[in-house]
Amino acid sequence: MTRLNFTLSDALPSLPKSGMPVTIITGFLGSGKTTLLNQILQNKDNLKIAVLVNEFGDINIDEQLLISVETDMVELDNGCICCTINDSLVDGVYRVLEREEKVDYLVIETTGLADPLPIILTFLSTELKFLTRVDAVVTVVDAAAFDAKHFDSQAALSQIRYGDMVILNKIDLANENKVRELKAFIEDIKPGFRILPSEYGKVPLPLMLDIGLTQVDDYQAEISEFRRDKSAFNNHLSSDSFNFVSFKSDLPFKIEQFEHFLTQQLPNNVFRAKGILWFQESPARHIFQLSGPRYELKDDDWTTHPKNELVFIGRNLDKSLIQQQLDECLVKPDIHHRFSSSNLFS
């Protein structure tokens, strides 16, 4: 499910609604977009920022990972923004503009499978162009995992082609040669591109917000075509053959079985996975992130009833097989114990 998250503060004076600046954060699966967004929310000072988080899948994991103290939710249709072109996006932005609590800034985090072009054109070619201002398209790139073919995805290349700047993230996981080659590759696609290296999405806000990098004049041809035929801009998922598998359970996993699933059974056409995990052997809430061959677990405290929620994203995934394998990792109720004679007649 896609939602609008509002982080509000009363410290700033009222600002006019016209021309609200918009930053679009894009980047392929696992590049670190949500981490970057958390950095913005943690360091926003007195800015009133509306955040539209968009996710591919029917479980919104990203929303649960966002750091937000005050939240007001506006429901939007689920799915990749550029595939639901684009009434829900337009309606959502209007709901931001019509609020009594005026918003200083709108940040959109796209799904990792989104081509940012239709999202950009929705702001530049509709009535939103009179009410908002696309400030910058920020592309987050995984310095360790990204390469010239990058999963043979046209969306991954479009995210660079239509970005205004690149945040070269996770440089701590890449060697100097890889970083040098990646910068050269990006420069070849878009000469003169602003490239900022980072670890964990730590980039000063003045380098990302209100920087005025998007040039409307560069999109005049695309705007005309978009107005004639929006559907021509929405074919990247079918051409890339991406799909997702979601899994929910109110039963805990067994650690050993889940580790076996990750190391022995997980298909290599899974490019990204994330979720909230509950293990029988641990009282903690575990935040699970997988990007390519790397995965990590971070401990946290439960604020809700424990449960398992997972989303796997990849190409041509076998949904029933993955769900069956995960189901086999669960701790099942002991039917014999529950209905033993001592329980029945006690």
Angle CA 322–323–326, to nearest 5: 85
In a domain, 198, yes or no: yes
Please report whether residue 342 resides in a domain. Answer: no
Pair 105, 225 in one domain: yes
Per-residue pLDDT at 238 exceeds 70? no
pLDDT of 247 higher than 90: yes
Last residue of a domain, one of 238, 270, 302: 238
- Claim to verify: residue 16 and residue 33 sit in the same structural domain: yes
Backbone phi and psi for residue 5, each to the nearest 5 degrees, phi listed first:
-105, 125
Last residue in a domain, options 204, 238, 272? 238
Q: Are residues 164 and 278 in the same domain?
A: no
Looking at the structure of the chain, the number of domains it has is: 2
Same domain, 218 and 302: no
**% of the chain exceeding 70 in pLDDT:** 79
Helices (H) then strands (E): counts for the chain: 12, 13
Say whether both 213 and 250 belong to one domain. no
338 occurs within a structural domain: no
Predicted local distance difference test score (pLDDT) of residue 152: 73
More reliable by pLDDT, 103 or 199: 199
Write the pLDDT tens digit of every residue in 287-308: 998 987 788 899 989 988 999 9
Query: Angle at which helices 116-125 and 87-97 pack, to 10 degrees?
Result: 60
Backbone angles phi, psi at 140, to 5 degrees: -95, 130
Q: Is the pLDDT of residue 318 over 90?
A: yes
Residue 346 lies in a domain: no
Q: Are 247 and 304 in contact (CB under 8 A)?
A: no
> What pLDDT, on the 0 to 100 scale, is given for residue 86?
56
Closest CA relative to residue 289, chosen from 303, 300, 302: 300
Q: Are residues 162 and 307 in the same domain?
A: no
Does 207 share its domain with 262? no
* Reported confidence tier of residue 239, pLDDT bands at 50, 70, 90: low
Domain annotation covers residue 345: no
In a domain, 164, yes or no: yes
Q: Over pLDDT 90: what percentage of the chain?
A: 43
Q: Which of 182, 216, 238 is the last residue of a domain?
A: 238
Which domain CATH number covers 270?
3.30.1220.10
Please write down the long-range contacts of 337-342, taking CB distance under 8 Å and 24 or more positions apart. Answer: none
CATH number at residue 113: 3.40.50.300
Structure tokens at 242: 């991406």
Judge whether 343 lies within some domain. Answer: no
Report residue 94 CA to chain centroid gap: 22
10 and 156 share one domain: yes
| Cross-strand partners of 155 | none
Q: Can you give the pTM of this predicted structure?
A: 0.75
- The per-residue pLDDT for 332 is 85
Reported as a single tens digit per residue, the pLDDT across 154-190 is 888 899 999 999 999 999 999 999 999 999 999 998 8
Same domain for 60 and 111, yes or no, is yes
- Residue 344 CB coordination number (10 Å): 8
Binning pLDDT at 50, 70 and 90, where does residue 142 land? very high
Residue 311 burial (10 A CB sphere; 0-12, 13-18, 19+): buried
Range of the domain at 271: 243-332
CA distance 219 to 188: 20
Farthest CA pair distance, the chain: 80
